[in-house]
Every structure is written in structure tokens, then in C-alpha cells.
Amino acid sequence: MQDLYPSRVGAEPALAPRRDPVLHGPSRGSLGEEQRRKLEHDGYLCLPELLAPAESDVLLAELDALRRAPEMRGRPEVVLEPDSEAIRSVFDVHRLSRTVERMVQSDPLLSIVQELLGSDVYIHQSRVNFKPGFEGKEFYWHSDFETWHVEDGMPRMRALSVSLNLTANTPVNGPLMVIPGSHQHYVSCPGRTPSDHYQQSLRRQEYGVPTREQLALLVERGGIAAPTGPAGSAVLFDCNLMHGSAGNITPWPRSNVFVVFNSVDNTLAEPFAGIAPRPSYIASRDFRRVVRA
Amino acid sequence: MQDLYPSRVGAEPALAPRRDPVLHGPSRGSLGEEQRRKLEHDGYLCLPELLAPAESDVLLAELDALRRAPEMRGRPEVVLEPDSEAIRSVFDVHRLSRTVERMVQSDPLLSIVQELLGSDVYIHQSRVNFKPGFEGKEFYWHSDFETWHVEDGMPRMRALSVSLNLTANTPVNGPLMVIPGSHQHYVSCPGRTPSDHYQQSLRRQEYGVPTREQLALLVERGGIAAPTGPAGSAVLFDCNLMHGSAGNITPWPRSNVFVVFNSVDNTLAEPFAGIAPRPSYIASRDFRRVVRA
């Protein structure tokens, strides 16, 4: 398969144009025209009350219990903070949590992603990021698609992520930051990918990192937005949107659930980096479409 | 001299009441009544245009030149980032920069601090913090007074800090965060102070760090404020206000000049930790009062 988006191939880092549309299907009414335009133009869209407050409280309690469960320690789905033993992320939460599973299989979310991707969808990845108070460390800038393409073999830009806030995302507790418009550029990164890179990269990324020049250029064009919101609100964003978040020294955890929907017409090939595929709890090869519950 | 504010003495960490007023002198018109009340109640006050934009641009250029000057490398006044060789801070900038010196010797700033401290003042410390783009690391929560008392021998809470923004402080580039009202409590910290602690602590503090329980209590009472503003704006705050800031992954540096005015009636004694005094560029023992230029 031709590599339309080469990165980490030893070439000079570059900004290449996107070769795929952002909206892959016509409007079918699950979003307004203005919301579709916003997503196409900026690469992200806020969904103010994806879960009702009561639902998101239940979900938070459920995932907190998961985090505290002694049997979770040492499982491969569990990733620790770079400088401590605090749990940073747990993968595969749509299999571990009934509430997440239900959210993924329900409207409005399922209709929205099916409409935007113009096809049925499957779950490429899901996780909860806890970003605990006092010690939650930053996530440096990255395009998810770059990693999914290079390390997982996702051929095209035809996936959408939803980040659901489990706690209030405020300006001070390390909220999601995005570079509006950056999804229109493919950031080809320096370096080459070592094997088994993922075991390290989920704690602190060292490959697939844009250069400072690339980031400065993207920010000069689009600025930085930090869409905040209460628990239950969500941000839907394009797979190629450059995003990151600062650390969290406040006492308030900034926890979210992150689910990636990929088009069933865009399933994974061999990783373009020529490495072994990452495990299924990070990059699923179960391509069965999500069915409405 | 009696230690009115013991900390790092091996006792249980505690929140003790403040034993000093916040406003040490009557109003003389340099600030409005509402501003005085705000400072007394919250422990900080924004000064929207302490320097005109042109002045702050000149100052930024001057301090950037200082940062790039090869002869500054290796000087004790220069502190590096914890994980890189980027310059984090340069001390004694009121001696190294004519513009800072002039600001300190001029109204409105000098009149304000003289009025609030109820006496003549001298400079206890000055520094520029660069917090460079992409890699500027956090400053964890701390009360400056705790350190100045324990490590420098500052007897009472009768000092004020001004933090002048050299670049825009935005919500996303690691702005100053404060806990309003926290200046009314003295946070006695765990641990004991090793000798020559400062060489390490200026890069990353390990002693004089409040416990998470203390911080959670202060935040529960006062919340967190992140007063942002353009270059040239400033924040004036009480020496005992709990404050910190997150790291900066944006391309925009968050640089500021930080100057501490202490009352000439509150000059340094021996450090209460029983250690050798820190060097004069960190904790000045030149107690000569600031004279209006």
C-alpha cells in the first residue's frame, strides 16, 4: 500500500497538505450546518452536554473504582505517570466499562460520527486519562493520526476522536489545548521509530514529535484554543488535529474518556514504520462495526 | 529572636494563623480603597499598565540580550531549567538592568509599596523568569515567605512582590496562579532544610513544599485565580500568598520580572533553619532603602 503520509522516514521535517476531506459524508441532520463548518474549518467541535451530570458522575465513579482495583495494577492496559506510580491512563475502557460502551453505541454520538465519516464505524482505541491533581504531567503536542498511521497502519485521515470530560476542564487544571486549523496540514516528523516504542511513548513521547518550527508555524496561523467545560461536556476532533495539554498542579483532577471512531473503510494495514503492530488494546484490529444499542 | 513562624522543624504540617497585618500603613492615596481591600482580602492586586507597551518591549529586549550574553553562562545568578540547559531565571536584575532599576525607584510602584508596608523599603530579591516556550517547567505551589523566613531569616510578613509581565500572560502559557486568601494562613511545611539547599531548590523545590492536604484545604476555601494580562501589566502580591504556575508547552514564552520589596523595619536576621545564609543575589543583606529616582 502506498504511504500517502510518510513520517519518521529520515527526511527533513515538513508540513504537507492533507489529502483527505474532513467531512466524509453529506449532512443527515445529526449536526447543524454551522457545526459542520466549524469542524471542517477548525478541526474540532464542542458538544456541551454529551452526558447528563448524573451520568457522568456514575461514569467517573465507575472508572475511579477501576483505577483503585488492585487487580488492574500491572495489567498492560494501565499506563503510569512518567515520574510517579500514579495511574495516567487505562486503555480499552469501552470494554471495561458498561457506561462507556453504552455511550459509544448510542445517539447522538454514534449518528454524528457515522454522518461525519460517511460510513459505519468501529472503535480504534479507547482510554481514560486521569491527569490526577498535583502531579498530572503534560501531554506534549502531537497529531494522533501521525502515530496511528506510522505505528498502527491507519491508511487515511478518516477517524474522529471524542474527549469526554469526567471532571470540569478549567483553564487551570491542564485542559485540552488544540491548534485550530492544524488538521489541514500533515506534520511529517523527524527521527525513526524504534520497535516496542509504545511502552515508553505512552508515558512520555519521544518520536512522532513535531519540531518547534512546525509548531510555531501552525500556532502562528491558527492560534491556540483551550475548550473548557463541565463534567459531561465533550470535544469532538479530527484525527489529525494538533493537540496537547499542560500539567496539572491544582488539586482538581482533569479526567476524561477518549474514544476513537474509525471508518470501516479505513481499517488498519501493516504499520508504515515497518515495525510490529501495537497490541490490540492500543490499536484494535477488531474491525466489527459499532451497532446502535 | 523568637521564631513566630516555625516550619520544617519536624513537627506535623499545620495551617497556623497569620500574626501580621497585610496593610501596614494608612491610606495615602497611592491606591484606591477598593484596591486596598482587595489586596487585604485576596492577597493580590492587578496593576493593569505598570509599564507602557513601549517600555516593556525595551525591557524584554534588554533581558533577552542578557539571557543570550555568553558571559552570563555559568554565573551564579543564572538558573537553568530542571531538565534542560535553557535559562530559567536570572537573579539580581535590578542591578543588571537600568530599566528594572528605574521602575523600582519610580512611582507609582514605589509609593504603593511604601504605603502598603508603612515604611521605607529595600529590595530583598529580584529576578527575571523566562519560562521559555515549549519547555518551560512548572513552579509548584509555595509561599515565598516560608522560604524567606526559614532560609533567609526574614522575621515577619511585611514584604510585597511585584510580578511584571514581559510577555502576555495568557491562560495557556503557564500564567501565575494564586490561591486567594491563602496569605492569611501560615503553612508550616514538613521536612528539614539541608545546607546549600538553594542550589537545587531554584531548579525544582523539594523542601518548603506544602502537603496536598494543606493545599486542598486552602483551595477549598479560596479557589484558584490566574490573573492574566498583556506585557506591561503586573500583579502585586503579599509575601505569604500561596502561588505557583504550570509548565508552558506553547510557543509563547511567559516571561516576567519579579521584584521583592521588604520593609526596612523587617530586615533579615539569621536563617531560622540554622543554616548558612543564602548568597546576597538571592536574599540581599544590603538593606539600604530605595530612593526615588
Q: What is the pLDDT of residues A29-43, one digit of tens each?
A: 999 999 999 999 999
SS3 A142: strand
Dump pLDDT digits (tens) for B52-93.
Answer: 989 999 999 999 998 888 888 889 999 887 778 888 899 999
The pLDDT, as a whole number, for residue B121 is 98
Query: Is the pLDDT confidence value at B201 over 70?
Result: no
Quick one: A14-263 is in which CATH superfamily?
Answer: q2cbj1_9rhob like domain (2.60.120.620)
Contact across the interface for A247 and B246, Cβ inside 8 Å: yes
Q: Which residues of B touch A251 (CB under 8 A)?
A: 212, 215-216, 219
List residues of B whose CB lies inside 8 A of any A CB.
Answer: 133-134, 138, 140-141, 171-172, 174, 177, 212, 215-216, 219, 224, 226, 244-252
Contacts of A205 (CB under 8 A, 6+ apart): A139, A140, A142
The confidence score (pLDDT) of residue B191 equals 83
Q: For residue range B20-43, list pLDDT tens digits in order.
A: 999 999 999 999 999 999 999 999
- The three cell numbers of residue A110 are 454514534
Residues of B in contact with A245 (CB under 8 A): 249
Tell me the domain boundaries of chain B.
14-263
CA dihedral over B74, B76, B79, B84, signed as positive or negative: positive
Task: Tell me if B249 and A138 make a contact (CB, 8 A cut-off).
Answer: yes
State which amino acid sits at residue B259: V
Chain A residues with CB inside 8 Å of B248's CB?
246
Query: Is the model's pLDDT at B203 over the cut of 70?
Result: no
Q: What is the pLDDT along chain A (293 residues), one digit of tens a residue?
A: 899 999 998 888 889 999 999 999 999 999 999 999 999 999 999 999 999 989 999 999 999 998 888 888 889 999 887 778 888 899 999 999 999 999 999 999 999 999 999 999 999 999 999 988 999 889 999 999 999 999 999 999 999 999 999 999 999 999 999 999 999 999 999 888 877 766 666 666 667 899 999 999 999 999 999 999 999 999 999 999 999 999 999 999 999 999 999 999 999 999 998 889 999 999 999 999 999 99
Q: Does B212 score more than 80 pLDDT?
A: yes
Q: According to the per-residue pLDDT averaged within each range, which of A255-264, B46-55, B193-202 is highest?
A: A255-264
Q: Mean per-residue pLDDT for B109-128?
A: 98
Of all residues in chain A, the one with the smallest CA distance to B242 is A250
pLDDT(B145) > 90: yes
Torsion of CA B115, B120, B124, B129, to 10 degrees: 40
**Each residue's pLDDT tens digit, A173-231:** 999 999 999 999 999 998 888 777 666 666 666 678 999 999 999 999 999 999 999 99
B47 or A207, higher pLDDT: B47
Cβ contacts from A onto B, under 8 A: 61
Residue B67 CB-density burial (10 A; 0-12 exposed, 13-18 middle, 19+ buried): middle
Judge residue A18's burial from the number of C-beta atoms within 10 Å of its C-beta, 0-12 exposed, 13-18 middle, 19 or more buried: middle
Buried b / exposed e along A172-201 (16+ C-beta atoms within 10 A): bbbbbbbbbbbbbbbbbbbeebeeebbeeb
Query: Which pLDDT score is estimated for A192?
Result: 83
Question: Does the CA dihedral B202-A80-A232-A154 come out positive or negative?
Answer: positive
Distance CA B84, CA B77 (A): 17
- Record the pTM: 0.92
pLDDT of A197: 67
Side chain identity at B136, as an amino acid letter? G
Instruction: Determine the pLDDT at residue B249.
Output: 96
Burial label for B23, CB within 10 Å (0-12, 13-18, 19+), is middle
Mean of per-residue pLDDT scores for chain B: 93
Query: What's residue A102's pLDDT?
Result: 93
Task: Please say if the pLDDT value at position B194 is more than 70.
Answer: yes
pLDDT tens, residue by residue, B254-291: 999 999 999 999 999 999 988 899 999 999 999 999 99
